[in-house]
Structure 1
Amino acid sequence: MTQHFVSTLFAIRSYFTWLPAPVVSVLMLALIGVLAFYCGNLVTKQLLRIPGSRKAALIRRIVSSLRRPTRLMVALLAMLSALPAATGFTATQEGDLQLFFLFLLILTFGFSAIMVFRIMTEVYLNRLAAREETDDIMIRSHQTQIRVLRRLTEILVGIVTVASALMLFPSVKQYGLSLFASAGAASLIVGLSARGLLTNLIAGVQIALTQPIRMEDLIIINGDWCWVEEINATYVVLRVWDWRRHIVPISYFLENQFENWTHNSAAIIGVVFLWVDYQAPMDRIREMLNEIVRGCPLWDGRVFDVQVADCNAHVMSIRIIASARTALQSWDLRCDIREKIIARIRDECPEALPRSRFSMMPPQMPSQNGGLDPWNMMAPPIGRPPPGSYTGPGMGAGGGPEMGSGPGGSSMSSG
């Protein structure tokens, strides 16, 4: 068929002998490329009109995504087939054109292969997510495995495609062979320079197999609530609750400790602490909490309990636990419980609110003997008389000391 095509081109070319041979060759290749391009366009349009079934829908989606690469490959193949009939070029020029067409053809084919693989994986994930009976953890497990393996496959196919295209050129081919042949310093330098990339690629394979994290897992990293938004071949994108993004190397999750709140199940138990006074009626508070939790649609009906968990000199701590289907619902449930129980305690049990106590001591009253009553003192001095009962030594009429003079100058002694 190729020989017939080339002979037909020679016959057509004989009608244009009055033009220079290089001009005829360039015009012929350009015309053949344009015609092949439009023929490819017609073929893709016909494929898009296939009536709808599941397989036909997949074919239509693939053809729709590969419309431009398909037309380019058809044009390149047509020009490669017509190149022997372009006698207006020298042998060197013809060889260079052939290498150029093959180079573009290999790159286009590799890109098309990556697109087909990506579309097929997306179709599989969409069908899996459409099944109502499928467990959420299984969906996220498949999403993680397929996304990581797809990234690795795309990288490998891209490397093989570029390497195959470059190996068409003799100079690049010779350099590559010499590099692989010398297992010395050059290979060592290349290995060391690609160490980080290889580490993350291997870590990606480990995560795809062991799955310490999955797509849309809720993890705690650096004190932030984060959802796994993307798992790429070398890094992971984490979405924080306030819409920030953490970009983390994928090897981090194999070398560091972190919390995964949805590893086995998305359900979680939320904890609320409440500090109340010692006069708080615990039975009444339990009844109020029971009404609040059971009336809240965020509670999943599995776990609920109220306990006095701690106390100190002023208040006691009540711990309320309640389970929810997801961490976000658990957060909203805890906020709802906290708001409603505070309002009900304020309105129905104000004696349960924490308060500060002070001991009010009566004022100090003078005693009958002219001093102060030691019973009215908070801490009377040990081994000493009460203040005012002894004013120090005084001088009597005879010049001697007078002991025990009262505050008014009256003597405490008899006679």
Structure 2
Amino acid sequence: MWWSAVRLVVAGAAVGVVLYGLDRVVELAARRLAARPAPSAALPGLLRGCRRPMLAVAACGLMLAAQPWVRSPGGVAHLLVLATIGSCGWLTARAAALLLDGAVRLAVRRRDPGWAGRARTQAGLLGRILQAAIALLALAAMLMTFPAVRVVGTSLLASAGLVGVVAGIAAQSALSNLFAGIQMAFGDLARIGDVVVVGGEWGTVEEITLTAVVIATWDQRRIVMPMSYFAGRPFENWSRRTARITGTALLHLDHSTPVDRLREEFESYLAKNPRWDGEGSALQVVDTTPTTLVVRALATAANADDAFALRCDLREHLIGYLREHHPNALPRLTVASPPQ
């Protein structure tokens, strides 16, 4: 027994030396690849990111290969097999995450906000699905190394149909959210960074997980909506194709309002406002009531935040202009004496 322990220590030391040399080789290769042109620019980051799981896989593999010489107890060999499976799963998950991250960075370099948001959404969802699948497969492979679990697994295969039906019924909500997330990400219904209106709340899509969507509202709240909500109900996406949006400001004014002068002031102020993108604008009387005129001021902006601020600026400036130059144009409440 003691001789087997000595051999195990010697094998461990030899594996440590080999791993140190392998680590130096990987680092040297990453540095040389980093100095090359763009086609190999992603490889150094991939090698450095996968260095630890690669060393773990190599260590477990070398120790397993040395087992016939070490002749350690069966429990040690089993532990090495479990560690090898776990490190292989770790390496696969890390490589998949780094590849998806590289794809997202490549999409962001195109300087297209819509494309970048779509890539971040799909990569994030796909990465979570891959990590969950890899973890599940690694756990299943570890469990199948135990003879007792292997026998139980063989018996469960006979009743797999019944188990699948029961599991499907029990996980119906989770599965519906999962499939809704896949539909939302790859159907391009909404992306991270999109401006949406859901349930009467205006906000920005901040995060998309396997089962929920997190929406950041203008007042710093976070609304967590189940993924199935977006698959089964209508919602507004203000930036699905383009971030440009039209801001609307409604004014209720007296019938004596000089609309022509108000329109001139509107156009003059809009031309000096940096939030206006110059694409479109209009000031129109859209409705009338027995006591007021309903004047609508329209102006386009590059995104929803600028549109909201622009219509607030327009409303404030036009009301101030009328109060200063045409006070009679502001709405008034007429009070008449009752008939005698």
Asked if Structure 1 and Structure 2 have the same fold, meaning a TM-score greater than 0.5 normalized by the shorter chain, the answer is yes
Given that 1:152 and 1:201 are in contact with CA atoms closer than 8 Å, whether structure 2 keeps it comes out as no
State which of 20, 26, 31 in structure 1 corresponds to 2:8: 26
TM-score scaled by structure 1? 0.75
Aligned pairs (5 A) from 1:91-130: 93-94=73-74, 96-130=75-109
The total of aligned residue pairs comes to 338
Distance in 2, matches of 1:109 and 1:245, equals 37
Residues 315-324 or 194-203, more deviating: 194-203
- Give, in angstroms, the shift of residue 329 of structure 1: 0.8
Larger helix proportion, structure 1 or 2? 2
State which of 309, 324, 337 in structure 1 corresponds to 2:301: 324
State which of 231, 253, 278 in structure 2 corresponds to 1:276: 253
Distance in 2, matches of 1:344 and 1:293, equals 13
Change (3 A) 1:62 1:179: same
- Give, in angstroms, the shift of residue 23 of structure 1: 2.9
Q: Which amino acid aligns with 1:20?
A: W
Greater C-alpha Rg: 1
1:166 corresponding residue in structure 2 = 143
State which of 144, 168, 182 in structure 1 corresponds to 2:121: 144
Given that 2:254 and 2:292 are in contact with CA atoms closer than 8 Å, whether structure 1 keeps it comes out as yes
2:192 corresponding residue in structure 1 = 215
1:241 corresponding residue in structure 2 = 218
Change (3 A) 1:20 1:127: closer
Distance in 2, matches of 1:184 and 1:128, equals 43
Q: Quick check: 1:306 aligned with 2:287?
A: no
Aligned pairs (5 A) from 1:327-338: 327-338=304-315
Given that 1:37 and 1:72 are in contact with CA atoms closer than 8 Å, whether structure 2 keeps it comes out as no
Given that 2:249 and 2:315 are in contact with CA atoms closer than 8 Å, whether structure 1 keeps it comes out as yes
Distance in 2, matches of 1:20 and 1:304, equals 88
Given that 1:310 and 1:316 are in contact with CA atoms closer than 8 Å, whether structure 2 keeps it comes out as yes
Unmatched runs of 5 consecutive residues or more in structure 1: 1-18, 362-377, 380-415
Q: Quick check: 1:57 aligned with 2:41?
A: yes
- Give, in angstroms, the shift of residue 297 of structure 1: 1.8
1:286 corresponding residue in structure 2 = 263
TM-score scaled by structure 2? 0.90
Q: Which amino acid aligns with 2:292?
A: V
- Give, in angstroms, the shift of residue 77 of structure 1: 1.5
Q: Which amino acid aligns with 2:35?
A: G
RMSD between aligned residues = 2.3
Q: Provide the identity percentage.
A: 30
Change (3 A) 1:197 1:313: closer
2:69 corresponding residue in structure 1 = 85
Unmatched runs of 5 consecutive residues or more in structure 2: none
1:39 corresponding residue in structure 2 = 21
Given that 1:44 and 1:63 are in contact with CA atoms closer than 8 Å, whether structure 2 keeps it comes out as yes
Larger relative contact order (CA 8 Å, sep ≥ 6): 2
